[in-house]
Chain A
Amino acid sequence: MRVTGSQLVAEILLEHEVDTIFGYPGGTILNLYDTLYEYRDRIRHVLTAHEQGAAHAADGYARATGKTGVVFATSGPGATNLVTGIATAFMDSIPMVAITCNVPDALIGRDAFQEVSITGITIPITKHSYFINRIEDLEDAVRNAFRIANSGRKGPVLIDITKDVTADTINYKPGKPLPLSPAPSFSEEDLRSVASMINSSDRPVIYCGGGVAASHAGEELIKLMEKADIPAAYTLMAAGIVGYDNPRNLGLLGMHGSIAANKAIDQSDLVIAIGARFSDRVALNPNKFGRRAQKIQIDIDNSEINKNVLVDIGVTADAGEFLKALLPLIKKKKRTDWVEKSTGWKNTTGDIKEGDAALHPSEIVDVICSNTDKETTYVTDVGQHQMWTAQYLRYDPNNKFLTSGGLGTMGYGYGAAIGAQIGEPDRRVIHVTSDGSFHMNMNEACTAVSEGLPIITVIMNNRVLGMVYQWQTIFYGKRYSATTPERKTDFPKVIEAFGGKGFTATTPKEFEEVFKKALKEKGPVWIDCVISEEERVLPMIPGGGTVEDMIIG
């Protein structure tokens, strides 16, 4: 069948069961949007306020549903506005296909209106990218984009198509998605060495990361914890995998991690890193991280082995596949003393309350938990509120926790929440943000209103740029440079003006009342929660430090 380049893109999206995309139209991508009009009964296009919001929405959609997030943008500023969203997905290994259109091929390289080399700009933040100026190359590029985005360590792929190609025609024969590249294979010897190290260890600790989530290996992980009686600490990217109630849960690891998690790593004789990369927010001092321990690292990305911390055994493998094969070789063993000792260090950060406000971050998260179930998706922005949410949430493994871990993108939250809610309309989506982060992307309220999304946004409003303010308090002698903006934003009024509903809360009781009201709303709700600017995220290990440098209160 003879199709245009635009129709070819739409057909291949359908082959990959893409029924939802996020984006923003413009001059060079007009042909593709004209085709979307034709396919509107099969492909839902969600228009955002800004391309960055669209990229974060595609990312949130991918994290929530496990499918590939797809985002469209026009050339020039449309494409550059995607950059932060693509980089966010890249750092957190989220499968995404970004399709941009560029000026017609005849104008390429002439600094034409809205021309930018987006493939050049995105080389460092994509797994791969395609610049397509011949229709013969289009089909391969789109098919391979989906293969690459989902193979091995997942991530974003960008396809930049010149406008003439979107109008040109070619013969198209329906096809199937390309098979994914197989996960790296591991040897019997790898399995036996890892098993014997675990079996002979007295004080092992599991350190699990986003690779466990990406591989859907939570169940296997918990089986290993139970069979060998091993406590587990998790990174931000694996928050929720080990349920809050799990007796072997040590909590969040790293800079703002729990005392138990950090101390257990420090005291252990074997660190088992699964799908984790010893980042500088976890292994704050790479030379002293787990200094008494032998180290095992299992990661699907070969280049992560020995990148930040040298390990005794590194295995390149999919976390789930490896754990499944490993479990039969693991001896059932009780390590009661070690588990009791390490989990006994669990810190009661829930009691840390600072400043003179009547509402504290831990109380906000507590009310959210008490009024939502295990089928809830929590989304955060970036900063203090993100850490408080990660620390205090009483996760169930069925909960989903969406957050920008690697890139730490302020402004990620609302777009991601919109993507998550669109991907799973029946799930409750709670978006926790702060006045600082939210000022970066609250414009997406118009999208939530247009689409009728019942996302509840909880704003931890301390009127300062809290995380930087906290560092200035602790390390810069309270010299508050550019963190006290004296903004007068009335959040409830803003959301009312957008066409949603707004509330304010100054006490836990008030917050619970309005949160319950918010749960009954059909559209977006914002709850402005007034907290003190003196609240800090604790505990805290300063960059480069160890558990001994931990600031507790």
Chain B
Amino acid sequence: MDDKIRKEVISILVDNHSNVLTRVSSLFGRRGFNIDSLTVSATNDPKLSRITIVFQGTEQALNQILTQTAKLEVVRKITPLDKKNSIYRELLLIKLRADKTERSAIREIVEIYRGKIDDLSRSSMIIELTGNSEKIDGFMDIISCYDILEVCRTGITGISRVDEALME
């Protein structure tokens, strides 16, 4: 096993009970794994939820995460979503200070990135952007020359392109 630090996206199908998120996230905490982002969402089965976790670590650490998490009673299935065969998406909401002199330039950038302007006031605007993390990072880089008031990123959620569904 190599010691290279890699970024991994893991999809976990869990029982939709209270405390499930605590069980999963506290396992990561006490085993010393760093979570970059974590999203929880409903699935088409009301009894199940999906957790998508992005973490950084070595192959050995990834292996530990997969096997330790799989031991939890609430975990139905756990799979790493490899980059080639998966689609990752993230949502960004960003509030910028922008008066009338800056609006059109910002609008141009937003259009290039296929984002949306959700809200406008005399002195600020809120932009919405969806995409993979690289696209969001790229947008953030460009937009950072403006005065950013607030940023929210949801963290990655992902789905495998493979036909077989990540179901129980």
Contacts and interface: CB of A to CB of B under 8 A. Distances in A.
A123 B73 contact: no
A230 B26 CA distance: 42
A336 interface: no
B127 to A, nearest CB: 39
Contacts of A148: 73
Interface stretch (B39-47, B64-72, B135-143): B64-72
Nearest to A120: B22
A307 B33 CA distance: 13
B83 interface: no
Interface string B94-106: 0000000000000
Interface in B5-47: 18-19, 22-23, 26-27, 30
A303 B67 contact: yes
A156 to B, nearest CB: 13
Contact of A124 (B30, B60, B74): B30
A210 B26 CA distance: 26
Contacts of B23: 123
A144 B63 CA distance: 27
Contact of B64 (A131, A144, A303): A303
A245 B68 CA distance: 39
A358 to B, nearest CB: 48
A123 B1 CA distance: 31
A517 B23 CA distance: 53
A533 to B, nearest CB: 37
Contacts of A144: 73
Contacts of A310: 1, 60
A127 B72 CA distance: 7
A106 B71 CA distance: 33
Contact of A306 (B19, B60, B74): B60
Contacts, number: 35
Given A303-B68, A306-B1, A310-B60, A127 B73 contact: yes
A306 B30 contact: no
Interface string B55-89: 00000100110011011111000000000000000
A173 B149 CA distance: 62
Contacts of A124: 26-27, 30
A335 interface: no
Nearest to A128: B73
Interface in A199-223: none
A303 B66 CA distance: 8
Sort chain A's interface into a size bin: 10 to 19
Interface string A267-301: 00000000000000000000000000000000001
Contacts of B1: 306, 310
A96 B156 CA distance: 39
A306 B22 contact: no
A123 B26 contact: yes
Nearest to A124: B30
A119 interface: yes
Contacts of B70: 302-303
Given A123-B26, A124-B30, A310-B60, A303 B19 contact: no
A301 B71 contact: yes
A331 to B, nearest CB: 31
Contact of B19 (A119, A127, A301): A119
Q: Which of A301, A303, A306, A307 counts the most chain B CB atoms within 10 A?
A: A303
B64 A307 contact: yes
Contacts of A119: 19
Contacts of A306: 1, 60, 63
Interface in A334-389: none
A301 B60 CA distance: 16
A310 B18 CA distance: 36
Nearest to B67: A303
Nearest to B26: A123
Contact of B71 (A123, A303, A305): A303
Contacts of B71: 127, 301-303
Contacts of B73: 127-128, 144, 148
A91 to B, nearest CB: 13
A144 B74 CA distance: 12
Contacts of B67: 302-303, 305
B26 A131 contact: no
A310 B71 CA distance: 20
A185 B73 CA distance: 19
A123 B72 CA distance: 10
Interface string A125-142: 001100100000000000
B32 to A, nearest CB: 12
A303 B60 CA distance: 11
Interface in A377-418: none
A139 to B, nearest CB: 17
A363 to B, nearest CB: 43
A296 B22 CA distance: 35
B22 A123 contact: yes
A303 to B, nearest CB: 4
16 contacts: A120-B19, A120-B22, A123-B23, A123-B26, A127-B73, A128-B72, A128-B73, A131-B18, A131-B19, A148-B73, A302-B70, A303-B67, A303-B70, A306-B1, A306-B60, A306-B63
Given A128-B73, A303-B70, 13 more contacts: A120-B22, A123-B23, A123-B26, A127-B71, A128-B74, A144-B73, A301-B71, A302-B67, A303-B64, A303-B67, A303-B71, A307-B64, A310-B1
5 closest Cβ pairs, A-B complex: A303-B67, A128-B73, A302-B67, A303-B68, A124-B30
